[in-house]
Structure 1
C-alpha cells in the first residue's frame, strides 16, 4: 500500500510529457504515453486494492503522508492520502474505468488534430480525480475538485475552433464555479468553527461542537450541498451537463462515468457525519435528487441527439444517488455509483462507435437498421441499456437501483420512493426508444464497424461488468459509512423488487409499442397541441436555460452596457476636469494688458465693498 502515491504520479508524468511535447510526438507515442500512464495507475491501484483486502490495515484505514502543505497560525493541512473502503471503491472506478476509456479513445481520436493534447488533458483529469478521492482533508479534496473543473473546461471545448463548443465549455466552467464558491464557503465555516479541514477530525469534532440542527452546521452542509449540486449536475445547477456533449465522446464517458459528476456524491458520502447533524439538509439532498431524476427523465424522452439522451440519463441516475444519500442509504448510493460507471461508460463508448461508424452523425432519427452492421455496438447498447433500465436479475443496474428503492421505502420516505419508481419507468422508455430508433427499422445512413483491440476490448469488458457479474463486486464500505435503515429484507423487499422489475419491463414494452415499426401513434401524439407543447418544453429541458438567461444573463449584460462608461470613474474624473477648466479660465486673464489689469482691480474692489456692505 506504500505505492499508493504512484496512482496519481503516473498520470501526472504522462500529462507533463505530453504537454511539453507541444504536439511533436507521433500518434502512436502519444497513445503509448497517455494510455500507458493510466494503465500503470490502474495496475498500481489493483495491487493496492489487493493488499488492502489480503492484508488490511489497522482499523481498516491506511494513511500516507507526502508532505506538509502549509502552516498558518495553527492551521497545517498536509498533502496526505487516506485509503479506506470508500476511497478503495472510488480508486478502482476512476483508474479501472478510466483506463478502458483511454484505451478506447486511442482508437476513437485517431486522425484528430490535437491527439497528444487530448491525452494530456485526460491524464490530468485522472490525476485530479485521484487527488479528490484520496485526499485526507477537504483542502486537498478542493484542490482536486478545481482540477477536474479545469480539465472539464479544456476537454468540453477541445474542438475550440467552433464557437458553440467554446460556449459549452464556458457554461460548464461558470455553472460549476457557482457550486465551487458554495463549497469554499462551507470550508471557511468548518475551519473557523472546528479549526481543521482533516475529514476524520471533522467527523469526530463536529458532534462535540454542534448539536443536531445547529445553525452553523446547517449552513456548512448547505454550502457543501451547493458544491455537490454544481459538480454532479443536480437541480438547480444541472444545465451544463447536456451541453458538455460538445466534447469528444470519450470525454463524455470520462466525465459521466469515471470522474467529475460522481464527485458530488462522493463528497456527501465522505462527510456523512456532518450531514447527519443537519437532518433537514440531508432530506433536502434526497428531494433534490428525486426532482432531478424525474425532470431529467422527461427531458430525455424527446431528445434526438444520441449523446444528449445519455447525458440526461446520467443526470437522472445521479438523482438516484442523491436520493439514496438523502434517505441515509450511503452504501446503496456508492454501489449505484460503481455500477453506473460500468454501464454508462459502456453506453457512451458504444455511442462513440456508432457516431464514427455513421460518419459523425448523432441524430438517432438519421440512423436506423444498425443492428446488423454494428453487432458489437448493438450488443453494448442492449446490455448497457438494460442495466440503465434496471432489467431484473441479469443486469448490474437492477441490484443497485433496487437497493436504493428499498431503502427509500424502509426509511419511510414514500414520496421519494414514488419518484424513484416513476424515474425507473421513464428510464426504460427513453433508453429503449434510443435503441429501437437507432438500431431497428429502415437504414438511413451508411455505416461501417470499427476494428482493433482498442475498440472491442473496452466494450467487451464493460459488457461483462454491466451484467449481474458487475453487481458481484461489493464495495468494502462496512465500518466506513453509517448503517442504513433498509438492510433487513423479507417479503416487503421481494414485493418491491417484483414491482420495480415489472415497471422496468413495462417501460420496455411500451417503448417497443411506440417506437418499433411505423411509429404512427407517436406521430399522432407529437402532432397534437399538448404533444407539441410538452415536446418543445421537455426538449428545452424544462426551459431552465431560458429562465436563467432572463434572470441572470440579460440583467448582467444590461448592467455591463450601463457601466460601459463607468459612472464612478466619470464622477471621480470630474474633479480633475474642473481643475483643468478653472486653470484654463484663469490663464486667459494673464494677457499682459495694463487696462485689463486695472479694470480687474477696480472690479475686485467693487465686489469686495459690495460683500462688506451686504
Structure 2
C-alpha cells in the first residue's frame, strides 16, 4: 500500500496534464472539473496515506527500488520512498494544489488559455510530487528540472505581456545557476559512492567513507547540493527571481510561491540533512538569516500587494532554512507546513481583492488605476467580509500571534536559534530572527490596514466592489481554519507536545564524529531550557510590530512618510530592493555584454587577423610558386621540348623513306667506320 498509493498520487496529475493538453478545449467547461477532480483524488489518497503512516508510530522509511541502468559490473537504481516527512509533504502539495484548482475556476474563468492553464497546473503538481516521493538524487534532479519548466510555463502564462515573459525567463535562468551547483554536488557523491540512492549514500558516509577521502569534499558536496535550494527557495543571492514571478496569475503565485516550488528547496535540505557537516549547516544557517533579514526590510517599503507577499515569502523561507541550519529540524519543517496554509491563503486573499478591484474598475471603465497598489485600496473590510476575516487570520498566523499555527512553528524556530547561539556563540542568528519577527508583524499589518481599513483615496474605485464568489472564498475559509494551532498541537503555546513533533523527528547525522553537528539530544535539551524566554521575546516583538503598524497606518500617531524621509538612504535602499537587480544587471548582464564585445573584437582582430594573415602569406607563397612553376619549371620543360623538336626536325630531313638512300647511308657509314678503324 505504501508504495502503490504514492505512485497513483503521482500519476493522477500527469494524467490530467495529458488529457487537458490534447482534449481540454473539447471538454465541457474546458475540462477544469477533470483536472480539479484528479488532483482532489490525489489529496484524499495523500491524507489517507498520512493517517496510516503516522498512526503506525513508525518513522521507518518504506521504499521500493529497481535497477534502471547496468554500467559494467555496477548499476544505477531508482525508486520511491515514503517516510513521515514525505507523507506530510504529499498532503501539503496536493492540498494547496487542489484549493488553487478550485479558486482558479473563479479567478481565471474568462482566460483565453483556460484549458492550457489547468494542464500546466497538473504538470507542475506531478513534478513537485516527483521530488517528494523519490528515494534518490537522480530522479529528484529530474523532477527538480521539471518543476523549473512547469513554473516557467505558469509564470509566463500571459506571455503577451513583456513583463510576464521576462519574469518567466528570469526565474528559469536564475534557477539554472543554483541547479548547476546542485548537479556538481550530486556528481561528487555519485563518483564517490557509485549510487544516487539516499540510504546507500548515508550508509557509506556513516561507515567512514568520505568523498575522495576528505572531510572538506563532504562539506563541499553538501553546500553544492544546497545551491539547488538557494535557487528554488529564493535564498540570497538568488532571491531576485521570485518577486518578478508575481507577473503570473495570482493563483499560480499561491501554488508556486507559497507551498510547493519554493518549499522544494527546504524539503531538499531536510532530505539530505543526515549528510550535512557542521560547517555546511553553519553556512546554511547564515544564508537563511541573511535572506530573511534582507527580504523583510524590502517588504516594509513595497506598495504592490503581491510584491509585499513575495518578499514575505522569501523572508519566511529564510526562516525555514535558518532553522534547519541551526539544527531545529522539526521546527523548520513545521514552519514549511504551517506557512503553506497561511501564505497560500494570503496570496489567494490578495487574488480575491485583485479580482474584485478589476471587476469594479472594469465597470467604471477605469483602465489606468493599478488594481494591485494598496494605495488605491482601503475600506474593503465592509465590502469583502469573508476575504477580510480570513486575511486577518492569515496575517495573525504569519505574525506569530498565539493560538495560530504560525506562532507554534515560529516560536520553535526562535527557540532553536537562541539555543544554538548559547551553545556556539553565534548570537547574530537569534538577533536577526527576533528582529525579523517584529518586521513581519509590521509589514503584514501595514498591508492589512492599507487594504481593508480606513478610507480609499478615491471612493469611486471601490464603489462597485463586492465579495468574491464562493468558489474563491471557500478555499480561503479552509486555509484559515488550517492556520489555527489545533491542527498541529492541542497546546496553543507549544508544538513539542503535538502530533507533528511526534511524527517528524530529527534524523540522526551520519557524518563522522569530528565533523558532525551537536547531537540532537543535547540541542533539544538546550531548546527546552530556553523555550520560555524565546516565547516571551517572540510575543513581545510581534506585539511591537503590530502596535507600530496601527500607530502608523490606523491611528496616524506616527507619520510614515516623515519616518521614511528620516530613514533616508536606508528607506531608499529598501524601496529599491537594495539594488540587487541593478547590480546583477550591471555586473552580470552588462558584464556578459562587455565580454561578448571583447570576444567579438578578439575574433575580428586576432583570430580573423591570424586567418587573414595566413591567407595573405599563402597568397604570396602561391604567387612565388606560380612564377617558379611558369618560368623555371615550365621553362625547362619547354626548352627540352624545343630541343627535341629541333633535333627531330633535323633528323626528319634524312628520313626520306627511300630504300636506295638508306643503302647509300649504310655504305657511307661503313666506309667512314672502316677508315676510322683502319
Q: CA deviation at 1:152?
A: 1.3
State the partner residue of 1:110. 109
Q: Does 1:420 align with 2:447?
A: no
Unaligned runs of 5+ in 1: 603-614
Q: Measure, in 1, the Cα distance between the counterparts of 2:305 and 2:597.
A: 39
Q: Which residue of 1 aligns with 2:532?
A: 494
Shift of 1:580: 8.2
- Deviation string 1:161-192 (CA, Å, 9 cap, x unpaired) is 01111111111111110000000000110011
Report the counterpart of residue 263 of structure 2 in structure 1: 262
Query: Contact between 2:342 and 2:398, CA under 8 Å: does it hold in 1?
Result: yes
For each residue in 1:218-251, what CA deviation from the matched residue of structure 2 results, as whole angstroms up to 9, or x when unmatched?
2101201211111111111111111110100011
Q: How does 1:316-327 map to 2 (within 5 A)?
A: 316-327=315-326
Choose 200-209 or 442-451, whichever is displaced more: 442-451
State which of 576, 585, 589 in structure 2 corresponds to 1:549.
585
Task: Give, in angstroms, the shift of residue 78 of structure 1.
Answer: 3.5
Gap change, CA 1:587 and 1:106, over 3 Å in 2? farther
Q: Would the alpha carbon gap of residues 80 and 584 (structure 1) be closer, same or farther in structure 2, given more than 3 Å must change?
A: same
TM-score in terms of structure 1 length: 0.90
Cα distance in 2 for residues equivalent to 1:323 and 1:341: 17
CA-to-aligned-CA distance 1:28-50 (integer Å, 9 cap, x gap): 24211221121111122122223
The answer to whether the Cα contact below 8 Å between 1:368 and 1:441 also exists between their aligned partners in 2 is yes
Deviation per CA, 1:450-509, whole angstroms, max 9, x where unpaired? Answer: 444421221110000011123336162237466361356667422321221111111101
| Maintained 8 Å contact 2:335/2:409 | yes
Query: What's the offset of the Cα at 1:24?
Result: 2.3
Q: For residue 120 of structure 1, give the secondary structure of its aligned residue in structure 2.
A: helix
Q: Distance in 1 between matches of 2:484 and 2:295?
A: 24
Q: Distance in 1 between the 2:250 and 2:376 partners?
A: 18
The 2-side partners of 1:487 and 1:270 are apart by 24
- Note closer, same or farther for the CA distance 1:33–1:589 as it changes in structure 2 (3 Å cut): farther
Q: 1:78 and 1:7, CA in 2 relative to 1: closer, same or farther beyond 3 A?
A: farther
SS of alignment partner, residue 79 of structure 2:
strand
Larger Rg: 2
Does structure 1 residue 515 correspond to structure 2 residue 553? yes
1:379 counterpart residue number: 389
Paired position in structure 2 for 1:52? 53
Separation in 2, partners of 1:390, 1:292: 19
CA distance in 2, matches of 1:320, 1:227: 17
How does 1:239-318 map onto structure 2 within 5 Å? 239-275=240-276, 278-318=277-317
Aligned positions, number: 591
The answer on whether the counterparts of 2:259 and 2:339 sit within 8 Å (CA) in structure 1 is no
Query: Residues 68-110 of structure 1, C-alpha deviation per residue, up to 9 Å, x if partnerless?
Result: 4322235533341100011111111111122112211122111
The CA distance in 2 between the partners of 1:518 and 1:510, in whole Å, is 10
Stretch moving more, 473-482 or 218-227? 473-482
Q: Secondary structure at the match of 1:64?
A: strand
Instruction: Give structure 2 stretches of 5+ with no counterpart.
Output: 359-369, 490-498, 510-519, 640-678
The Cα shift of 1:534 comes to: 2.5
Rounded Cα–Cα distance in structure 2 between residues aligned with 1:84 and 1:258: 19
Distance in 1, matches of 2:342 and 2:114, equals 26
Residue matched to 2:645: none
Decide whether the 8 Å contact of 1:18 with 1:120 is kept in 2: yes
CA contact (8 A) 2:289 2:318 kept: yes
Give, in whole Å, the separation in 2 of the partners of 1:49 and 1:32: 25
Contact 1:7 1:41 in 2 (8 A): yes
Provide TM-score, normalisation by structure 2.
0.82
1:407: which partner in 2?
Answer: 416
> 365, 371, 376: which is aligned to 1:361?
371
Which residue in the other structure is 2:97 paired with? 98
In structure 2, distance between residues paired with 1:490 and 1:233: 31
Quick one: structure 1 residues 27 and 308, their matched pair in 2 at CA, closer, same or farther if it must change by over 3 Å?
farther
Structure 2 counterparts to residues 19-418 of structure 1, below 5 A:
19-21=21-23, 24-26=25-27, 28-55=29-56, 60-65=60-65, 67-207=66-206, 208-210=208-210, 214-275=215-276, 278-359=277-358, 361-392=371-402, 394-411=403-420, 412=422, 413-418=426-431
Deviation at 1:585, TM superposition (A): 5.8
Counterparts in 2 of 1:60 and 1:523: CA distance versus 1, 3 Å: same
Q: 1:37 to 1:585 in 2, by over 3 A?
A: farther
Q: 2 CA distance for matches of 1:538 and 1:74?
A: 57
**1:374 and 1:126 mapped to 2: Cα distance?**
31
1:56/1:396 CA distance change after superposition, 3 Å: closer
Instruction: Out of 286-295 and 533-542, give the one that drifted further.
Output: 533-542
Secondary structure of the residue aligned to 2:505 is coil
1:538 matched to which residue of 2?
574
Distance 1:182-1:69 versus aligned 2 partners, 3 A rule: same
Q: CA, structure 1 residues 302+137, in 2 after alignment: closer, same or farther (shift >3 Å)?
A: same
Asked if 1:477 is matched to 2:504, the reply is yes
Q: Residues 328 and 569 from structure 1, CA distance in 2 versus in 1: closer, same or farther, beyond 3 angstroms?
A: same
Counterpart CA distance in 2 for 1:77 and 1:117 is 36
How large is the RMSD of aligned CA atoms in angstroms?
A: 2.8
Distance across 2 between alignment mates of 1:493 and 1:64: 40
- Hey, what does 1:612 align to over in structure 2? none
- Per the TM alignment, residue 571 of structure 1 is displaced from its structure 2 partner at its CA by 5.1
Looking at structure 2, the residues matched to 282 and 339 of structure 1 have their Cα atoms a distance apart, in angstroms, of 23
Residue 572 of structure 1: how far off its partner (Å): 6.8
C-alpha deviation, 1:121, in angstroms: 1.0
Shift of 1:113: 1.4
